[in-house]
Amino acid sequence: MVPNGFLSFEDEQFIESSVAKLNALRKSGQFCDVKLQVCGHEMLAHRAVLACCSPYLFEIFNNDTESHGISHVKFDDLNPEAVEVLLNYAYTSQLKAETELVKDVYSAAKKLKIDRVKQVCGEYLLSKMDVESCISYRNFANVMGDWRLLSKVDMYIQEHLLEISEQDDFLKLPRLKLEIMLEENVSLPNNGKLYTKVISWVQRSIWEHGESLETLMDEVQTLYYSADHKLLDGHVLDKHNDMFAGEEDGIQLVQKKSPRESDKHISSGSSGISSPSSIAAPNPKHEWKMIASEKKSNKAYLCLAVLNSTLSVIFLHGRNTPLSSPLNTPRLMKSLSLEIPPDDSNDKIMSPMHYARSGLGTAELNGKLIAAGGYNREECLRTVECYDPESDTWTFLPPMKTPRARFQMAVLMDELYVVGGSNGQSDDLSCGEKYDPKASAWTPFPELRTNRCNAGVCALNGKLYIIGGSDPYGQKGLKNCDVFEPFTRSWTSCAPLNIRRHQSAVCELDNHMYIIGGAESWNCLNSVERYNPENDTWTLVAPMNVARRGAGVAVYNGKLFVGGGFDGSRALSCVESYDPVKNEWKMVGSMNSSRSNAGLIAIGNNIFAVGGFDGNEFLNTIEVYNTSINEWSTYTKMCRSKAW
């Protein structure tokens, strides 16, 4: 065929034939210019082919300026059979490996930075996972540092914990055995809250008193759950030891431990209660989290958790005690309490999320705080958690269909809407989905006309708006604004912004929409724009005191509260408030933690900050703002306040 005077021909067999010949040359050692030495095995190949497939080898070859003959690359930690599988893939695009070899292929692909093979191997392992193998698969994902794979394994464990608990791998895990004495007419809380308390008790035992996790697991630990919902060391019952031998269920209590040597942690002016400042700071590298829990019987609970980076089983048995509460005894005052408040002994630290999250979506729905998606270290999350301020508990909602971060969430007609963002693999997403709390399910809704990441999302007058965001290359902000009409299920354009923006905070107040701060390219902005839906216009209003991107915004008592974010050099803890009547911003109390890409949300009389990145670690913590005293707190007393 000769269009426009030029010959055009495509040989469909050429590529397949050339690839086959190239691989044959490799196997025969012809024209090879690199030798891989893998645990004593030598493999010949062509540098150009391997450099195209492996960024790791590309860097080696690119820096190997002194080699004029055959290059030598040595690996002492890879399986030769797995490397051979990758060589075949590099030459033929075909990946073939026996099931038993897939983990080694994954490890080799990780080393060589062949991400596509790593992803395919991970998906294959998930497809083969069952209740017998999931613990070993989790250990593998953890060692590999594959947080995306790890989160999927954890979701499987959450659904099948009781079946998994009967398998050999589970039974071989280190086990923490707890006996919890219950005061009369007191029952244990739900699983999530209970194990948050238990994990906090283990943390304080290690950080404050220098005990090792192994020591705690040596014997049954006896704790006491009091009527004021505190979990205390069992030695508050020391003087009553003889009353419990041979009690119900035929379970013999171990001898109560004597009080731990904590004198050096006790302030002489504090009635024996440890000061929070005296508690050693935890090592941020050590992981603590609950993976799954189940109630096995009326008083028996089972949990799989990561304690001090060790995958562990927590077995808990609750028992009633005939004793009256040991309150007001001197020994209680010296016991190790989970909740050591700054001023009030009935207060405790607010329960953290199950997952650390940055770039998450947050919203208020039916008096609860919803936290969805976000980044957790290197992975992008699908999971959705719901916080009840009344009970200080986090529970899981059904996960989103698509992992996403760097997005915002809005409530429209009593349903949660998420749209755009990043899935951690491609730059931007165009898809959206909504959550119906009545059906407890996520369903897709029409996609955006273009991919959008780092955009603001807001509900206004029964419609959903997406504002600004990043261009396809993530280098500069957009002026684009689009609106979704749920009845026609269609997206249309509305007036563009005055200034290009991405990573801005967006909210609705008094039938207007505000977009706050963000960045034009990478330069942080302090400017603020207000949208009037009646005439479809954006107007600049008073700028913030601090330029910031990735901030959170909440609406409370007719004012905007903007907190955290990033100023171009560091994560911020400062917060400021905007009064639309006066058109002015003023600084208010700063948060306890610096939080970039966190969520800020008002629920009732409270403003909550949740998750984010503090400049070093992704956060799962939460704190609350008291407007009457202009302070942020990490303690639950603030949540229980009805009026300030």
Task: Look up residue 275 and give its DSSP letter.
Answer: P
What are the tens digits of pLDDT across the range 324-347? 433 333 222 223 333 334 444 456
Asked if residue 164 lies in contact with residue 134, where contact means CB atoms within 8 angstroms, the answer is yes
Residue 632: is its pLDDT beyond 90?
yes
pLDDT on residue 196: 78
Other beta carbons less than 10 A from residue 505's beta carbon:
26
* Of 576, 573, 456, 451, nearest in space to 504 by CA: 456
Tokens of 310: 């060790």
- Per-residue pLDDT band for 228 (boundaries 50, 70, 90) equals low
Q: Which residues contact 554 (CB under 8 A, 6 or more apart)?
A: 507, 560, 561, 563, 600, 601, 602, 607, 608
- d(C-alpha 357, C-alpha 364), whole Å: 17
Q: Is 529 a residue whose pLDDT tops 90?
A: yes
Provide Rg for the chain, Cα atoms.
Answer: 29
Q: Which two tokens stand for residue 445?
A: 């809704």
Q: At residue 61, does pLDDT exceed 90?
A: no
Q: Which is more confident, 16 or 43?
A: 43
Q: How confident is the model at residue 272 (pLDDT cuts 50, 70, 90)?
A: very low
DSSP notation for 444-502:
EEPPPSS-B-S-EEEEETTEEEEE--B-TTSSSBB--EEEEETTTTEEEE-PPPSS-BB
Rounded to 5 degrees, what angle do the CA atoms 294, 298, 303 make? 25
Neighbouring residues of 477: CB distance < 8 A, sequence distance ≥ 6: 468, 469, 470, 471, 499, 500, 501, 502, 504, 518, 519, 520, 521
**Is residue 239's pLDDT more than 70?**
no
Q: How confident is the model at residue 185 (pLDDT cuts 50, 70, 90)?
A: low
Give start and end residues of each alpha helix (H) in 14-146. 14-28, 47-53, 55-63, 80-92, 102-112, 115-128, 134-144
More confident residue, 399 or 67: 399
> What DSSP state is assigned to residue 253?
P
Q: What is the pLDDT of residue 119?
A: 92
491-504 pLDDT tens trace:
999 999 999 999 99
3-state secondary structure (DSSP) of residue 538: strand
pLDDT tier, 60 (very low <50, low <70, confident <90, very high otherwise): confident
Phi and psi for 535 in degrees, rounded to 5?
-120, 10
Residues 6+ apart with CB under 8 A from 318: 180, 182, 187, 188, 225, 299, 300, 301
Instruction: Judge whether residue 427 has pLDDT over 80.
Output: no
Reply yes or no on whether the pLDDT at 584 is more than 80.
Answer: yes
Q: Can you give the pLDDT at residue 325? A: 38
For residue 248, pLDDT over 70 is answered with: no
In this structure, the strands spanning 559-563 and 552-556 are: antiparallel
Mean pLDDT of the chain: 82
Percent of the chain with pLDDT over 90: 51
Lowest mean per-residue pLDDT among 179-183, 399-403, 594-598: 179-183
pLDDT tens, residue by residue, 104-142: 999 999 999 999 999 999 999 999 999 999 999 999 999
Per the model's pLDDT, the better-predicted residue between 239 and 300 turns out to be 300
Residue in 370, 456, 474 with CA at minimum distance from that of residue 407: 456
pLDDT bracket for residue 192 (50, 70, 90): low
Helix or strand (DSSP H, E) at 302 = strand 300-307
Give residue 234's pLDDT.
63
Q: Is the four-CA dihedral 568, 570, 571, 575 of positive or negative sign?
A: negative
Q: What pLDDT sits at residue 639?
A: 65
Least confident stretch, 287-301, 336-350, 592-606: 336-350
85 pLDDT above the threshold of 90 = yes
Give pLDDT, residue 339.
36
Higher pLDDT, 349 or 254: 349
Residues 346-399: tens digit of each pLDDT: 568 899 999 999 999 999 999 999 999 998 876 789 999 999 999 999 999 999
Residue 501: what are its φ and ψ, rounded to 5°?
-150, 140
432 has pLDDT over 50: yes
The helix (H) or strand (E) run that includes residue 306 is: strand 300-307
Q: How far is CA 81 from the centre of its chain?
A: 36
| Out of 158-162, 229-233, 344-348, 499-503, least confident range | 344-348
* CA nearest neighbour of 53 among 16, 91, 26, 21: 91
For residues 152-161, give the mean pLDDT: 91
Mean pLDDT over residues 26-45, rounded? 88
pLDDT of residue 141: 92
